[in-house]
Amino acid sequence: MPTMKKLLLLVLILLSVTQLRSQGVFPSETQEKPKEDRNFRIPLIGETAPSFTAESTNGTLNFPSDFGRSWKILFSHPQDFTPVCSTEILELGYLQDEFDKLGVKLVVVSTDALDTHVQWKKSLESLNLNNRGLVKIKFPIVDDNIKSISKKYGMIHAATNTTKDVRGVFIINPDNIISAIYFYPPSVGRNTDELLRTVTALQATYTDKVMTPVNWKAGNDLLVPLPPKADANSTTAAPDGYYSPVWYLMFKKAAK
């Protein structure tokens, strides 16, 4: 009889577990785990920069709120100690004063862990590349070991978790709106002169209703948006301080 009672009790337990599992209390062995949303789209120009909180070589970083109304540039890297990325970080270090003059805050994201970032930074700061002297890297290098930032900024492909394409640059204005985007392949180093030029151009056009022509540099004349009813028969003369070589182009002379 005791054996029969034990058997009956076991049957009741099994029936209870089966019922609870059918109600979703216990996951079924065949029940699929929720799939990750792989729609890692790149935030576009004019959209709000995705925010994140992460550890960095400068401590905990809340991006972009920690930088207030400053202009910001977010650089991303697939891995620490890679040759191209190492030269880029050093160049940013050498140009820190130039970016400071423009009121630009630099943030570097790399998909390695923080302790690796610390060693990379230490090594770079001990390197006298091309006899330019040693440099202290003041900007934060952010831990994105779990790739959450790279995914928010659309740099992980939907079909893979590879980090080889985490090579984006996002220029973000004081309103935390993305104003320019660059992407580079792993084999090609970024052009920091172009980044400085782009930031300068964005700042020149941020508040005034002007634009920059091709190859514009600071101190060059600016373009004025066309009047709504501009046409080939327009005879409106350019006001003082402006000139118009043809009806669809009007320039504003740069302040001397």
Please state whether beta strands 168-172 and 71-77 pair in parallel, antiparallel, or not at all (unpaired).
antiparallel
Choose the catalytic residue: 85, 107, 142, 166.
Answer: 85
Structural tokens at position 156: 């992980």
Residues 80 and 111: their CA atoms lie apart, in Å, by 8
The answer to whether residue 85 is catalytic is: yes
Residues with a catalytic annotation lie at 85
